[in-house]
Amino acid sequence: MKYYFLYLLTIVSACVPIQSNYTSSSYNSVNIDFTDKIYDNNIKTVQLYPTNNISDQTSPSVINILNDNLVLEFDEMVEDANTYNAKIYNCTANWKRSNVSAIEYLYEYNEFDIQEYEYSLDTDFPYVHYRFNVPKVKTSGNYLLVVYRNGNENEVILTKRFMVFENKLDIIPAQTINGLVNLSRKNQQIEFFVRYKNFPIDNPRESIKVQLRQNNRWDNLLHGIRPSFIREDVNELEYRFINNSDLFKGGNEFRFFDFRSIKYPGYRIKSIVRENNEYHVQVANDKMRADLAYSQYRDKNGKYFIFNQDFDNSASSSNYAKVNFFLSDKKMPSNAQIYLFGSLTNYELSPQYQLKHNENKKSYELEVLLKQGHYDYQYYYSNDSTDYNYIEGNYFETENEYEILVYYRPFGAKTDLLIGYKVL
């Protein structure tokens, strides 16, 4: 009996770490942000996108639970491949780790091997390209994909958010997205109706959470939005806003450049020079646009896609180049803090994307290592938190992409379900 008790105690002790993987306290010890983030400087060009159409790379990481799939791709700037694993964690509507165990939202054990990779071919900067098909989940909601090295959860290299929705209700946009008359020259406002005729909801004011996202950004997400009217007799919520907190800055169309080829300069590429076995790409000179008249043209709302016009395989034959940005300092304050901004920077104000002032050239400049492709970008002015579009300008006419996300937490549930999703 004594030996049996010791054997049983050993088994129980061995199981404790496995159970702790599903607790918030254990996971928080890794010090991971529940955001889109790269933790290793050798990791580049992280993309998480649906696989259901040809324009996948520029689609947000949002999928229908019924028939869509996601793929993760990233490069590591090394010569030899490493061993990588992935985990998926369920999150609440406000991106906190939920208390839902993995067995409730996954069909498999929550540890996945990333086995698909290929080495770069004849590129100046050697790299290994990884590809991972994200496993399906059982329930709708918010999820965080975590990738770590050598089976060690403390060696996290990247985190990426994604959302899975199911259409349980109808989202009907109003006729216009313009805001109030006295503010509409610079702002945009989304108004809509949520109808839940075929999906019974108890206490919709408390159980429903609505969020609005502009151009797939997280930094200016509108959340905690309350309906202006609740019509329970017809199962309808009306969202019409009358205060400034529910406005989006109109912004401007994104600047962009095309270096899908390193042999022939594409649109807005000033020069491509090869020095010391490296390609140096100079983007056309930029200047402030806030004082110019609005000009509409077709952009990709801040996104980028990887493509190679010189060789067949864009994933492993595309070169990395040192891309140089040049912004005139005319009409800029002397202490301006300016960042390159867009999907290529994860919309983060990271030091590696801050432009440096060049007094001799009267400009702000930055050099970034980027993979061949087509890129949208803007300049973020961080001196004034109320007007980060000081350089780009704000125009109500700007064509932006908006997402309406409707979350629902049933009574007694541990997390939020994403029961409605609409793109405008």
Task: Express each pLDDT in 302-328 by its tens digit.
Answer: 999 999 999 888 999 999 999 999 999
Greatest Cα-to-Cα distance within the chain, rounded to the nearest angstrom: 86
Q: Is 288 helix (H, G, I), strand (E, B) or coil?
A: coil
pLDDT of residue 17 exceeding 50: no
- First-residue to last-residue Cα distance in the chain: 68
Instruction: Clarify whether residues 58 and 159 are in a common domain.
Output: yes
**What's the distance, CA 82 to chain centroid?**
25
Instruction: Clarify whether residues 101 and 115 are in a common domain.
Output: yes
277-294 mean pLDDT: 96
Instruction: Give how many domains the chain has, as a whole number.
Output: 3
At 26, is the pLDDT very low, low, confident or very high (cuts 50, 70, 90)? Answer: very low
Helix (H) / strand (E) element for 70: namely strand 70-76
User: Domain for residue 392, yes or no?
Assistant: no
pLDDT of residue 291 exceeding 80: yes
pLDDT of residue 356 exceeding 90: yes
Instruction: Clarify whether residues 262 and 359 are in a common domain.
Output: yes
Residues 43, 148: Cα–Cα separation, whole Å: 12
Joined tokens for residue 392: 């780009």
pLDDT of residue 195 exceeding 60: yes
Look-up of token digits 């990233």: 74
**What's the distance, CA 94 to chain centroid?**
15
At 364, is the pLDDT very low, low, confident or very high (cuts 50, 70, 90)? Answer: very high
Instruction: Clarify whether residues 292 and 370 are in a common domain.
Output: yes
Most confident residue range from 4-8, 16-20, 83-87, 312-316: 83-87
290-303 mean pLDDT: 94
Per the CB < 8 A criterion, the answer to whether 215 and 187 are in contact is no
pLDDT digits (tens, 9 = 90+) for 115-165: 999 999 999 999 999 999 999 999 999 999 999 999 999 999 999 999 999
At 176, is the pLDDT very low, low, confident or very high (cuts 50, 70, 90)? Answer: low
For residue 416, what are the contacts with CB-CB under 8 A and spacing of at least 6? Answer: 92, 93, 141, 142, 209, 407, 408, 409
User: Domain for residue 233, yes or no?
Assistant: yes
What DSSP assignment string belongs to 371-421? ESEEEEEEEEE-S-TT-TTTTT---TT----EEEEEEE--TT-SS-EEEEE
Q: Which residues pair with 195 in a beta bridge?
A: 170, 236
Residues 325, 365: Cα–Cα separation, whole Å: 6
When comparing pLDDT for 8 and 239, which is higher? 239
Instruction: Clarify whether residues 143 and 174 are in a common domain.
Output: no
User: Domain for residue 10, yes or no?
Assistant: no
Per the CB < 8 A criterion, the answer to whether 158 and 37 are in contact is yes
Query: What pLDDT is recorded for position 181?
Result: 45
Joined tokens for residue 186: 């610079």
Q: pTM for the complete prediction?
A: 0.89
Residues 341, 304: Cα–Cα separation, whole Å: 12
How does the average pLDDT of the chain come out, rounded? 89
Most confident residue range from 199-208, 328-337, 413-422: 413-422
265-285 mean pLDDT: 96
At 7, is the pLDDT very low, low, confident or very high (cuts 50, 70, 90)? Answer: very low
pLDDT-above-70 percentage for the chain: 89
Instruction: Clarify whether residues 181 and 123 are in a common domain.
Output: no
At 31, is the pLDDT very low, low, confident or very high (cuts 50, 70, 90)? Answer: confident
User: Domain for residue 92, yes or no?
Assistant: yes
Instruction: Clarify whether residues 180 and 134 are in a common domain.
Output: no
User: Domain for residue 23, yes or no?
Assistant: no
pLDDT of residue 399 exceeding 60: yes
Helix (H) / strand (E) element for 278: namely strand 278-283
pLDDT digits (tens, 9 = 90+) for 210-223: 999 999 999 999 99
17-36 mean pLDDT: 52
Helix (H) / strand (E) element for 148: namely strand 141-149
Evaluate the CA torsion angle 95, 144, 142, 219 in order and state its sign. positive
Alpha helices in 38-138 (DSSP H): 102-105
351-375 mean pLDDT: 97
When comparing pLDDT for 119 and 241, which is higher? 119
Residues 357, 283: Cα–Cα separation, whole Å: 17
- Cβ-based neighbour number of residue 333 at 10 Å: 11
Q: Which residues of 262-299 are buried (b: 16+ CB within 10 A; e: fewer)?
A: beebbeebeebeeeeeebebbbeebebbeeeeeeeeeb
Q: Which of 411, 321, 407, 423 is nearest to 90 (CA)?
A: 407
261-265 mean pLDDT: 92
The burial class, CB within 10 Å (0-12 / 13-18 / 19+), for 110 is: middle
Q: Which domain holds residue 302?
A: 255-381
Domain boundary among 148, 165, 182: 165
Domain boundary among 103, 135, 165: 165
At 22, is the pLDDT very low, low, confident or very high (cuts 50, 70, 90)? Answer: very low
Most confident residue range from 6-15, 241-250, 341-350: 341-350
Per the CB < 8 A criterion, the answer to whether 330 and 362 are in contact is yes
User: Domain for residue 26, yes or no?
Assistant: no
Alpha helices in 100-217 (DSSP H): 102-105, 204-207
Residues 207, 201: Cα–Cα separation, whole Å: 8
Instruction: Clarify whether residues 223 and 279 are in a common domain.
Output: no
Instruction: Clarify whether residues 226 and 268 are in a common domain.
Output: no
CATH number at residue 61: 2.60.40
Instruction: Clarify whether residues 205 and 232 are in a common domain.
Output: yes
Instruction: Clarify whether residues 310 and 373 are in a common domain.
Output: yes
187-197 mean pLDDT: 93
Alpha helices in 21-127 (DSSP H): 24-28, 102-105
Residues 208, 138: Cα–Cα separation, whole Å: 21
When comparing pLDDT for 52 and 65, which is higher? 65
Q: Is 199 helix (H, G, I), strand (E, B) or coil?
A: coil
Instruction: Clarify whether residues 104 and 224 are in a common domain.
Output: no
Alpha helices in 29-82 (DSSP H): none
Q: Which residues of 52-67 are buried (b: 16+ CB within 10 A; e: fewer)?
A: eeeeebbbbbbbebee
